[in-house]
Amino acid sequence: MTGDCTRMTERTGLLQEAEQFIKSCYQELGKSNDETASRLKEVNQAIACNGTYEHTLEELQHGAKMAWRNSNRCIGRLFWDTLHVMDARDADTEEAIAAKLIEHIEFATNGGKIRPVVTVFRAANAPNRTIRLGNHQLIRYAGYETGGGPVGDPASLAFTRLCSALGWRGEGGAFDVLPLVIRIGDNAPVWFDIPQRSILEVPIEHPEMTAFVRLNLRWYAVPMVSDMHLEIGGIQYMAAPFNGWYMGTEIGARNFADEDRYNMLPEVAALMGLDQSKASSLWKDKALVELNVAVLHSFKQHGVTIVDHHTAAQQFKRFERNEANTGREVTGDWSWLIPPVSPAATGIFHKSYINRVERPNFFYRDKGEFEQGLH
């Protein structure tokens, strides 16, 4: 009896989520009341009979766009309606999934003219068929533990250990691209190397400091987040990697600058001849600015889409105006929307936002979920 009550409660909750989504989605798409009512009837019947329902392609496409629009931590939401939605719900083997991920990487990269893309794999309707990706991002650098400290990206240490346990072997360098790791249900994870031809990287140089190239820095062109799941109308897609393009500070002020990442500020400061003996010399600030100058310059020199944080803040202001014109309230996580460099120089810093979670949306998966059951 308890199981029946639980299933009934789950179906009632799903139906409520589905109805709310269908009504909002169809209104935004300009559907008639009759079309909306007909679709709601179909969804209701599907949930009553099967305990779930399946999105049409149009619902999937617009729902994914709505999820980007509702992402409180994203400053780049002005372009939410340009998102390319790739329907990969028919991919049912690790090999087919890997092929779709490579297709995503290549289509999004587009020779440097980055396209916003999400690839949606089948919904998590049955535990033994649920698709999960082990990667934080589809392209990410490995991190190795050595006696002299970490080599590569320290943020990737745990995942690199997992990849090694599965049989992958990196070269032990600072910028080794990790493989794709895919898991279906309780099956063992399977890894696939990303073809070198599919990976676009940008060597980092400074427009004025010629010695900067001695740092041998580079970064991949597209940030394709793959450790979040997409929820649309109560349906969860556990594998739905997505990307926009980089804001320069993500690389220059975080990936390269954070002490627990590549920690390059001391080396940049040394190149600049800055006094690192006291904090009041503001050597970190000076080095941070020039590191970000180098990132923006390099991406632009190589024809790869990137945006600086001031332009991104102006674009977010346009997004806010657009949303106000449609009668929608902009929600946001202020601590994520402000850039890590000169935040007070942007309009976002001087505003407040309601950090209310709207759906559809992207959600972080539980840490350790991918590795559950592995020995």
- Residue of 245, 283, 290, 320 with catalytic role: 245
Going by C-beta distance under 8 Å and a sequence separation of 6 or more, which residues neighbour residue 231?
67, 237, 359, 360, 361, 362, 363
- Residue of 19, 205, 250, 320 with catalytic role: 250
- Residue of 25, 39, 59, 77 with catalytic role: 77
Residue 97, token pair as written in the block: 């999934």
Distance CA 251, CA 292 (A): 8
Contact 322, 78 (CB under 8 A): yes
Distance CA 186, CA 372 (A): 9
Token look-up 């179909």 returns 42
Is 250 a catalytic site residue? yes
Residue 286, token pair as written in the block: 């000076």
- Residue of 25, 74, 94, 283 with catalytic role: 74
Is 74 a catalytic site residue? yes
**Reading across the β-sheet that carries 117-121, which strands appear in turn?**
84-88, 117-121, 242-243, 224-225
Is 132 a catalytic site residue? no
Identify the helix (H) or strand (E) that includes residue 243.
Answer: strand 242-243
Three-state DSSP class for residue 145:
coil
Is 369 a catalytic site residue? no
C-beta atoms surrounding 219 within 10 Å: 23
* CA–CA distances in Å: residue 169 to residues 160, 172, 272: 9, 9, 37
Instruction: Count how many Cα atoms sit within 13 Å of the Cα of residue 135 in the half-sphere of its side chain.
Output: 27
Active site residues: 74, 77, 245, 250
